[in-house]
Chain A
Amino acid sequence: DGGITQSPKYLFRKEGQNVTLSCEQNLNHDAMYWYRQDPGQGLRLIYYSQIVNDFQKGDIAEGYSVSREKKESFPLTVTSAQKNPTAFYLCASTQAGVGQPQHFGDGTRLSIL
């Protein structure tokens, strides 16, 4: 079945450590997105990529980095510069075209040790 796979489901970070969240899609979608969701709040856009080897900052990119070396993969690194990383991280993708909806993975919950 086609879909978006995020791993791991749960992740713990130590002080000063960088961690990488994986997002893989087999939907042949062009654009991919990373969002952060905090308890009781909506989604905030971290980074997005419309094409391989190109990506743009979203609303809260500080302390995060991404890469898009392959169409199907869009990993997110949470660096030590992100002082409040505890959140639910969601990856989404969409096909190019008018009105196409974004589809989401099941998320990674990141906590601080």
Chain B
Amino acid sequence: DAKTTQPTSMDCAEGRAANLPCNHSTISGNEYVYWYRQIHSQGPQYIIHGLKNNETNEMASLIITEDRKSSTLILPHATLRDTAVYYCIVRPFLQETSGSRLTFGEGTQLTVNP
């Protein structure tokens, strides 16, 4: 899987947008970008994924640059419950039906402040 680089920590004010960057400069053409988050002592929660187009769902938006070497996860109106470690993962999409494993890096600790 391609290596990803994320900032170690970020802060955001409650109600403001949280923009979490991820660098994946060695991404291949058959690899998706996935975002998960993990709140302490809970299982990872899937947020969103994309290949090359921007994506939006009820939780967040994913902006992928045209060269696909970086992406940004946007939480439009952060709340205190969004405080968690956010993981950016790059994986070949053809692995989904095989023994694929998710490789979590260090992630970004997002702290939403009142």
- A residues with CB within 8 A of B: 4, 6, 31, 33, 35, 42-45, 48, 50, 56, 58-59, 88, 90, 92, 94, 96-107, 109
Question: In whole angstroms, how far apart are the Cα atoms of A105 and B42 in the complex?
Answer: 8
- Tell me what chain B mostly uses at the interface: helix, strand, loop, or mixed: loop
- Can you report 18 A-B residue pairs in the complex whose CB atoms are below 8 A from each other? A31-B96, A31-B97, A35-B102, A43-B104, A45-B101, A50-B97, A56-B99, A59-B101, A88-B41, A90-B44, A92-B102, A96-B97, A98-B94, A99-B32, A102-B102, A104-B44, A104-B46, A109-B41
B103 interface contact, C-beta 8 A: yes
What chain A residues lie within 8 Å of B98 (beta carbons)? 50
Chain A contacts of B105 at CB under 8 A? 42
Whether A97 lies near B42 (C-beta < 8 A) is: no
Which B residues between 81 and 109 are near A, CB-CB below 8 angstroms? Answer: 93-94, 96-99, 101-105
Complex Cα gap A31–B61 (Å): 27
**Once bound together, how far apart are the Cα atoms of A33 and B102, in whole Å?**
10
Given contacts A96-B97, A97-B97, A99-B93, contact A42 B44 (CB under 8 A): no
Query: Quick check: is B68 within 8 A (CB to CB) of the other chain?
Result: no
Contact in complex: A107, B42 (CB < 8 Å): yes
A107 touches B94 (CB 8 A): no
Contacts of A100 in B (CB 8 A): 96
Which residues in A have their C-beta under 8 angstroms from that of B51? 99
Mask: chain B, 35-51; 1 = CB below 8 Å from A; 0 = not: 00000011111100101
**Residues of chain B with a CB closer than 8 A to A59's CB:** 101
Residues of A within 8 A of B94 (CB): 98
Beyond A43-B103, A59-B101, whether A96 also contacts B43 by CB under 8 A is no
